[in-house]
């Protein structure tokens, strides 16, 4: 039964996550944190971090991770299959239709109208992760409970990415090292 739940949950994610992995994050959060309670919000944030660091799409990495955590290798297979099946079918159908009707004004209008929705999905996911990183799982934004170390690491990462145009891989590694150093110093080791 759990395999079917995993398959159907990630089938929904695969079916409705237009715009790629970042747009899928609120859908993944809704299924694995809110609806089924398979992960806490902290575990979800860790999941997104791990999915970013490993090769492959976020949604597929997330499906595999959640599947393994919940039901082992068969769970990973069920969740991953559920996640990729809609894309395989939809892309095959859309490729044929797009090649046939690509110059049609209505099709261009539909594609243009989806862009703001995708941006909103990405922003929603980013804000949820930002709140969890700065204020923890409570999702209550209180200045006195702000994790200032995370705020400074975030600001430093933004500067390195936007001003210095540093490779994102190096920025992620530096952020991990910075947090590790702060944690070690904080524990007095």
SS3 167: coil
Q: How sure is the predictor about 189, in pLDDT bands with cuts at 50, 70 and 90? A: low
Cα dist from 70 to 24, 34, 132, 177, whole Å: 20, 15, 23, 30
Please count the CA atoms within 13 angstroms of the CA of 18 that sit on its side-chain side. Answer: 13
Q: What is the pLDDT of residues 50-76, one digit of tens each?
A: 888 888 888 899 999 999 999 999 999
Per the CB < 8 A criterion, the answer to whether 59 and 21 are in contact is yes
Q: What integer is the mean pLDDT of 72-85? A: 95
Cα dist from 106 to 15, 58, 176, whole Å: 22, 31, 46
SS3 114: helix
Q: What is the pLDDT of residues 106-154, one digit of tens each?
A: 878 888 888 898 888 889 888 888 888 888 876 677 888 888 999 999 9
From 56, 52, 62, 27, select the one nearest 157 (Cα to Cα): 52
Q: How sure is the predictor about 38, in pLDDT bands with cuts at 50, 70 and 90? A: very high
Cα dist from 147 to 47, 89, 129, 131, whole Å: 20, 44, 13, 10
Per-residue tokens: 97: 């239709």
């Amino acid at each position: 039964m759990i395999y079917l739940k995993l398959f159907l949950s990630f089938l929904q994610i695969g079916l409705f996550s237009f715009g790629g992995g970042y747009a899928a994050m609120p859908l993944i959060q809704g299924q694995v944190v809110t609806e089924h309670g398979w992960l806490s919000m902290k575990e979800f944030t860790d999941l997104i971090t791990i999915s970013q660091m490993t090769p492959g799409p976020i949604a597929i990495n997330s499906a595999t991770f959640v599947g393994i955590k919940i039901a082992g290798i068969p769970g990973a297979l069920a969740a991953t299959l559920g996640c990729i099946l809609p894309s395989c079918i939809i892309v095959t159908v859309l490729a044929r239709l797009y090649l046939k009707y690509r110059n049609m004004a209505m099709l261009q209008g539909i594609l243009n109208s989806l862009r703001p929705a995708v941006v909103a999905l990405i922003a929603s996911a980013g804000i949820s992760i930002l709140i969890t990183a700065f204020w923890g799982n409570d999702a209550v934004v209180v200045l006195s409970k702000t994790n200032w170390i995370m705020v400074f690491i975030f600001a430093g990462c933004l500067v390195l990415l936007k001003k210095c145009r540093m490779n994102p891989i190096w920025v992620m590694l530096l952020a991990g090292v910075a947090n590790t150093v702060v944690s070690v110093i904080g524990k007095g080791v």
